[in-house]
Structures are given as C-alpha cells and as structure tokens.
Structure 1
Amino acid sequence: MVKVPSISVSVSPQAVAGTALGAGVLVGAGIAYLYFSFKERTRLTKELATIHANIQELRQELARNDAALAQGVQESSNEDIECTESRCEDIETVSVSSRSSRLSKRVTFSSASGTYYTALDTDNESTKTANDTDYFSPDEDEDVFFDLSSEEESLAACAKLEEQIWETKEQFVELFEQVDRLMEGSKEDQVAAFKMLQQYEEENKDKAEFQWRIAKSFNNLSVIEEKLGNEEQKKDYIFKAYDHAERAIEMDDSLPQVHEWYAIMAGRRGDYLSNRERIASAFVFKEHIEKALQIDPTKAELHYLLGRFCYEIASVSVWTAHMARALYGEFPSCSYDEALQHFLTAEKYSKKQLKDNKHYIAKCCLQRNEVDEANEWVEKAYEVPIKTPADEIVQQEIEKLRR
C-alpha cells in the first residue's frame, strides 16, 4: 500500500508543467466480454429471423402448388378421365421444386402422410434422410407452425445483457467523474481521489482512462511530497506515475489525456536522467502535447502546457542552448512570442478562469517590454478567486509581480 501523506499542501498546474521540463524544460475485460456476447446473440437472432422468412416464403409457394394440383385434378374429372388404381399410385407423390435459392432444397408432398417435408437431393420419400426437416403439417395451426420461443428468449436475454452493459458503463463514468472533481480540489480531495482509484484498480487496470488518471494522481502525490521535502518519496511517485502513463498510451493513444499525461510525466522523470535524456524528454513532451492537440484542438489546458514549454525553452540562455546543440546535436527552439500565442489561445478556449494562464501572459508581456499590458494581466490574474491550493501558490507569484 502506498504511503499517503497527511499534511495539507497543494498541487499547482504550473508546478506540474515547470518541473516536467527537465533541465529548464518541462478516458474492461468484463465489459468487452459482455459486449461481444451481446453482439453474437444479436447475430444469431437475426439469422433465425431470416430462416423464419424463408420458411414463410416456402409455405406460400407450397400453397400455390397445392392449389394448382387441385385445379389440375378437377379439370381431369371434367374431361371424364378415369383414374385407375395404378395411375393413382403413380401420382400419389408429387414433387415440386422450391423457388427459394437460399434454401436450395426440393419440397415433397406425400398424400399418404399429409405432410410437407424437405429433402437434400431426394426424388421420393424412400430416400428421405435424417437431414430432412418436417416444418409443419396442414393439420397444425398456422400461427404455431414455427416455434419462436427460443427467439423471444434470445431477444429478452440480449435486452437484459444490454442493460447490464450500460449499468456497468454508468458506474465507470460516475467513478471517473468523481475522481476528476477530487483531483482538482484540495490536498485532502486529491488524497481521497488516489484512495478511490486504488480501491477500484483491479477491475479497471486494463482501461487507458483509468491508467492516465492514476498517473495524474501519483503526480499529485509527488508534488505533495515535494512540499514536505521528501525528495525520495517524490521521485518514487514520479516514476510510478510515468509507468502508468506509459501503460495508458500503449492501451489507447486516441485519448488526448493519455498523450497529455505521458508528456508531463516524461518531462518530470527527465529530472532524474542524464542531460541527453532530459533533452530527449523535452522533445517527447512537445511531441505528445501536439498529438493531444490534434485530437482535441480546443482544450485550453493543452495550449497552456505548450505555452509553458515554449516559455521555459525561451528562458534558456543562448549560450546554454548552443552548448546543448554542440554536445548533443539538438535542442528545442522557442520564443516568448510563441509562448504568448499559446497562452492567449488557452485563454480563448478556457471554460473557466485559469489563474496561472493569465499570470504567464503577464510574464510574456514583461519579456516583450509591454509593461502596461503586463500590469493589466497581473490584475486580471490577481482578481481570479482562489479555490484550490494551486491557486494559492500562483497568487504568491502574482503578488511578487504587483510589487
């Protein structure tokens, strides 16, 4: 069981992005089983309905043949044609061919038994085999000539199965929505979210939506430990978070959150790697944030993170960047102008007030020597209500800019 801290601290979005940059760089098996079982039962039900329709068509044709046969007998009687015993025996069994190409069988009517039956390539009743199927007798009630009880049972089972699937999905949605709310709250809320994820890990461990959430939750705990000065525990949580983020992206790379948290944790893990690996982590961060934006281009948090990346890269001195390129052959290149554009885009798409985003817009304006604009954004950031511990940390930085 993972140790859970008890002292109240906060998780800051800017701390996540900032520490994720390395050297100055920063949505079950059980459901699958139920789903495919439901699909298979539905397929069998459809096939049963098709067979039923073919039998109906066959009955209609047999009725037409029977009427034609009766008409022929009447015409023969009108012409005074005597039917000898031997001749009657010759016509006792009349074979007709089914027009249904789907059944590909011939249908025989026996006057002796008064029963229709089908036979595979047979010319008379004597060659009827075990494969022949007796569909109905003229003496039977038309409404019950084909027993649909198994079909009705199958439909009922499918309906029940579908209901179970949706109930399970609703449980997952409810769990994830509650966890998401808690992870954006206080330190106590974040610890509660972590415990909740642990409780439901066994039945959700094969879901990418669970894996990126547990990665985010471990990251929250790492920041809590950082505030407490527990560096070793912080490192342990960061590497655990990275492992879960990596599993998530292997399971389903179509979710923007999967790319987002893989990027963040790759960057944070870079703090404990070699310089070359830290630079590589920076490229990984940028690559996966951009992939997440391709999936969800209007997600404000992704634009904010890309802005943070550009801001941190732009903050690296020219000499440091030059040395990195000389030693390792590559280094990201960004400007404060690029960072500002990403922060402004985040502001445009944000559905809520992002305190830290406004804070960084002000910082970009200062780097561009736009003092008046910077002051305006500082005040806008300052006026955003403080709701979480993360807001408290940002507020401290904003107050420094106001002095």
Structure 2
Amino acid sequence: MPHSTNKELIFAIMVGTAGISLLVLWYQKVRKPRTAMSLPKLFSLDHTFASTTLQDKTYNGQGTPAIFQRRQLQILEKLNELLTNMEELKEEIRFLKETIPKLEEYIQDELGGKITVHRISPQHRARKRRVTVVQSSATSNSSEEAESEGGYITANTDTEEPSVSVPAAFSTRIEELKLAVLLQKVDHLRMTESGKMESFELLCDHKEKFRDEIEFVWRFARAYGDMFELSTDTQEKKQYANIGKTLGEKAITRAPMNGHCHLWYAVLCGYVSQFEGIQNKINYGYRFKEHLDIAIQLLPEEPFLYYLNGRYCYTVSKLSWIEKKMAAALFGRMPSSTIQEALHNFLKAEEIHPGYSLLNYTYLAKCYVDLEENQSAWKFCNLALLLPTVTKEDKEAQTEVKAIIKSLKRVLDIEGDRIPEECC
C-alpha cells in the first residue's frame, strides 16, 4: 500500500473517531434526566448522519470509515432501545406499586362474602426424604428428642421463597386464607389411606409456616396418628406415636378448651402405651380416659369420641381380676366398666351418625353376643357387611364379623339362604 494511502486511512479513522466522540457528547447533553421514554428520535439516526457518512466516504473509496460509523450507529441504537425498555419497566413497577393497595381492598371485599374452596384431586408423591428423617430418629428415647428428630421444630430450608414487601393487613389476610384452605384440604384427604399419607406430607410442608396455629398443631398430631396406623414397621410406629403425643401435649397446653386437642392426645397416648411396660401401660390408660372425658364434654356431638369410649369400656370390662388389682396397687384406684356401658357408647355413636363405621357395628355385635342377645348381634353383623372396607382396620373388622356370623348361624340355626353370600 502506498505511503500516501496509509496517511489518508489514518486521518480518516481519526476524523471518524472524533465524529463519534462529538456525537456521544451531543447525545449526553441533549438527553434529559429520566426522559429515555422521549428518545425514539434516535431511531432515525441514519438520516441525521447521512451527510457525515457521505463526507467520510470521500476519504477512502473502500468505505472503511463508513463501516465503523455504521457499527457505532448500531451500538447507539441498541443503547437507546435498552434505555427505552428500562423506562418502560420502571413505569410498570410504578403501576404495580399503585395497584397493590387497591388489590388489598378488592380481596378484603371478596373475602367478606362466601368463600368456596374446591377440592384438588390428590396426587400422591412418595417423598423419601421425610421417611428417612423419621427412621433416622427411631432410637430417640424422650419425647423432646422425638419432636426435634421428627422434624417439627427443625426448620424446613429445602426451598426458600423470596419475600415480598406488602402491607401488614394484606399479608395477614392472605395467610389466614391459605391456612383455611390447607386445613380443609387435609381434612378431606383423610378419606382414604393414600389420602392420609398425602395429608401428612402437606402438613410437613407447612409445619414452619403454621407451627404456632393450634388448628394446625392438633391436625399435625392426628396425622402422626394416621401414619402410626399405616406403618408396618415397629420402630417407625413407635416414632410416629411419640412425636404425635408430643405435639398433642403442646396442643392441650396451649388450647385446654379445644376438644380436638384432647381427643387426639388421648388417641396418641393409647398408641404410645402399646410399647410400654405394664406400669406405664396402665398409666397411659388412665390418661387416655381422662382426656377422652374432657373431649366428650367439649365435643358432645362427635361420634368418634363415643366409639373410643365404648372401646375403653369394653377393654376394661374384659380385664382379669389380677390386672385390675395390679392397677389399683399402682395408682390407688381400680378401673371398672361393664359391657352395658360399652354398648351405650357404641349406640350413642350410631345415634349421632347412623352407619358411622364398620368397626362400630362390629363392636355392637360383640357386645350383644356377650349379652346373649343374638338376634341384635346378627342384625349389626349384617349392617357391618353393607359398609365398604376402606382401611386395614375395616378389613380386619370384616373378617371378625364373618366369624361372628358363622358362630351365630350355629347358635340360631339360621337358614343358609338368609346369610349374605360374602359371609360364606
């Protein structure tokens, strides 16, 4: 390349660079603060600098300065587009800030009416993480250790949601709505065994958020009782019972006038007693009865309470004389009950809720067999077989009912065609 041509090229580059620098200075001077939204004129920079481009082309027939200018022009256009988008984003944020307070008023107005919550179809998810946590703490001896190991006190930090700053009243209102929806859902899910597992998982997911809500706490204790029933591993069952009992203790301490707290604490005491020696077993039996009676006073229309009370009376009526004497020696009083008292409670449950459960019908039949009222026993056996078997306990009860029917058939000499086919 000739020496003169090199000089021309260098000079042209310097002129182009100077032109771009002047353009940037002019752009910064003309642009007003916070008015990037008014800069769409920069999109027509091709026209503004058309003359400059033509002049620069005269320095080099190959158009090298023009290429640089076009690239710089593209950069400026992209810069302006970015600034414009930023201003649009700021405008949207400002709009949201103005809208949130209005949204609060709207939701409060909506909540003033009737709220209808639709049940979501349960989709069971086997979460090995929680099962592992429970199993790893199976060697815990104290209730306090069980609570910590079971994961109720330990923070759930698997996922963290970013916090959004909203008015306090708005935040409180939304939290109450979420709690109500959660409680309604876990109550509905308990209709099946898989639903009970799903319910337990939901409560585990929300334990940190609602750990101080008493309606949440007693349901969490109940869920541990459900898991006790579903589990087939002895150590797992013991762990579920201990953690649930600890939650039940927390519930009755904080809400002594809540009947559900006393109900599920009593149930979990019964579960824990299955792993204790004779002295603690009797002690838990007294504790079970004490809190069951309190729950009946607070929830007089709950059929499950009368079924449980009937079970207690039936069990005590079957205790041997030696077992009753041992209880009296250990605790100063002898437990006493009769088949008639048990029957009264089972009938009360049936009165409140006809067809309440297959188990209730089974115990009604057993009471009538013990009282030698075989026709009544036969009646409730047949009623029991009309109900579906949902849980493992239902299946066991159905087997027992079939055995009672065969026994009654021999006693009453009932014709075979009167016995339901499923009993034969």
Structure 2 length as normaliser, TM-score? 0.54
- Deviation track 1:162-210 (CA, whole Å, cap 9, x = no partner) reads 6654443222121111111222312x21111111001111011112211
Q: Which amino acid aligns with 2:199?
A: A
Which aligned pairs between 1:1-400 and structure 2 lie closer than 5 A?
A: 1-3=129-131, 165-186=172-193, 188-225=194-231, 228=232, 230-350=233-353, 353-400=356-403
- Deviation track 1:62-88 (CA, whole Å, cap 9, x = no partner) reads xxxxxxxxxxxxxxxxxxxxxxxxxxx
Contact 1:339 1:364 in 2 (8 A): yes
Structure number with higher relative contact order (C-alpha < 8 Å, ≥ 6 residues apart): 1
Alpha-carbon offset, residue 275 of structure 1: 2.1
Q: Please state whether the residue corresponding to 1:204 is helix, strand or coil.
A: coil
Where is the helix percentage greater, Structure 1 or Structure 2?
2
Contact 1:208 1:249 in 2 (8 A): no
Over the aligned positions, Cα root-mean-square deviation in angstroms equals 2.1
Contact 2:303 2:356 in 1 (8 A): no
Alpha-carbon offset, residue 255 of structure 1: 1.5
Alpha-carbon offset, residue 352 of structure 1: 5.4
Alpha-carbon offset, residue 368 of structure 1: 0.7
Q: Which amino acid aligns with 1:333?
A: S
CA distance in structure 2 between the partners assigned to 1:285 and 1:320 by the alignment = 17
Contact 1:207 1:251 in 2 (8 A): no
- Deviation track 1:290-349 (CA, whole Å, cap 9, x = no partner) reads 111111111111111111110111111223212432454333111100000011111111
Where do 5+ consecutive residues of structure 2 fail to align?
Answer: 1-128, 134-166, 407-424
Q: Which amino acid aligns with 1:192?
A: E
- Deviation track 1:213-269 (CA, whole Å, cap 9, x = no partner) reads 1112112222222xx3x2111111111111111111122122211000111111221
Aligned to 2:30: none
CA distance in structure 1 between the partners assigned to 2:253 and 2:327 by the alignment = 31
Q: Which amino acid aligns with 1:199?
A: D
Alpha-carbon offset, residue 375 of structure 1: 0.7
Q: Which amino acid aligns with 1:282?
A: G
Alpha-carbon offset, residue 389 of structure 1: 4.3
Contact 1:256 1:295 in 2 (8 A): yes
**Aligned length, in residue pairs:** 245
CA distance in structure 1 between the partners assigned to 2:353 and 2:375 by the alignment = 24
Q: Which amino acid aligns with 1:269?
A: V
Alpha-carbon offset, residue 273 of structure 1: 2.8
Alpha-carbon offset, residue 383 of structure 1: 1.0
CA distance in structure 2 between the partners assigned to 1:221 and 1:203 by the alignment = 22
Alpha-carbon offset, residue 351 of structure 1: 6.2
Change (3 A) 1:352 1:200: farther
Structure 1 length as normaliser, TM-score? 0.57
Q: Which amino acid aligns with 1:308?
A: R
Change (3 A) 1:238 1:368: same
Change (3 A) 1:267 1:335: same
Contact 1:308 1:339 in 2 (8 A): yes
Change (3 A) 1:214 1:327: closer
Contact 2:263 2:291 in 1 (8 A): yes
CA distance in structure 2 between the partners assigned to 1:169 and 1:401 by the alignment = 50
